[in-house]
Amino acid sequence: MSTDMEKLWIDCVKETDDSIALGNLVRRYQPMINNMKLQYFITGYDINDWYQDAMLICYQTCKIFDGNGGSKFGSFFKLKLRNHVIDKIRHENAYKRRANIHTKPLSFVDLDDDQDLTAIENCNWLEVKDQIQDIIKDLSKMELLSFQYILGKISKEEACQLAKCDLRQIERAIKRCEVKIRKRKLQARLS
């Protein structure tokens, strides 16, 4: 593929918002997009989401790209797409942290409060605390909210509202969370 054809496509997108030219550019950089998908994980993103974001970023890149300075479109597009992906991951992690705002550290739980400790009355407190901290590290943001539901700290409806999802998705996250807890419990017994 010649750089002249690429320049023509960029100009078509820049001047006339040509969707065919935009599609051709995204197809040209499809291997780069696929490679980036392998490098970065975004929860809930499938290949169509990646291509949709790539199309949007490619369009924005075409609108501001000026090849007269000697820069290459491919490098500029890759940089902008990578920055976009990293920004998405940052937002996802911030959302995870936000889910933890409504929790209280286990060290602050009143050991005499039967409501908080009914499930773990006969266990070694420090061991349980370490196990829970290990479990939490492996949970997604939706599973963290599900864990809060399992602990009785929030309702399913509150979990749905905080996760911005429907009840079915939260129920699946609750099941995943329970499976991870059981798996961790089994590992603790074996070690």
**What's the pLDDT tens digit per position in 162-181?**
888 998 998 998 898 888 88
Asked which of 80, 97, 114 is the last residue of a domain, the reply is 97
- For the residues of 49-84, what is the DSSP string, one character each? HHHHHHHHHHHHHHHH--GGGS--HHHHHHHHHHHH
Domain count, the chain: 2
Integer Rg of the chain from CA: 24
Q: How confident is the model at residue 55 (pLDDT cuts 50, 70, 90)?
A: very high
Mean pLDDT of 89-110: 70
Mean pLDDT of 34-52: 90
Q: How confident is the model at residue 84 (pLDDT cuts 50, 70, 90)?
A: very high
- Residues 78 and 112 both lie in one domain: no
- Residues 151 and 84 both lie in one domain: no
User: What is the structure's pLDDT at 73?
Assistant: 92
Question: 144 is in which domain, residue-wise?
Answer: 104-190
**What are the φ/ψ torsions at residue 155 (nearest 5 degrees)?**
-90, 170
- Residues 89 and 119 both lie in one domain: no
Of all residues in the chain, what percent carry a pLDDT higher than 90?
Answer: 37
Mean pLDDT of 50-78: 91
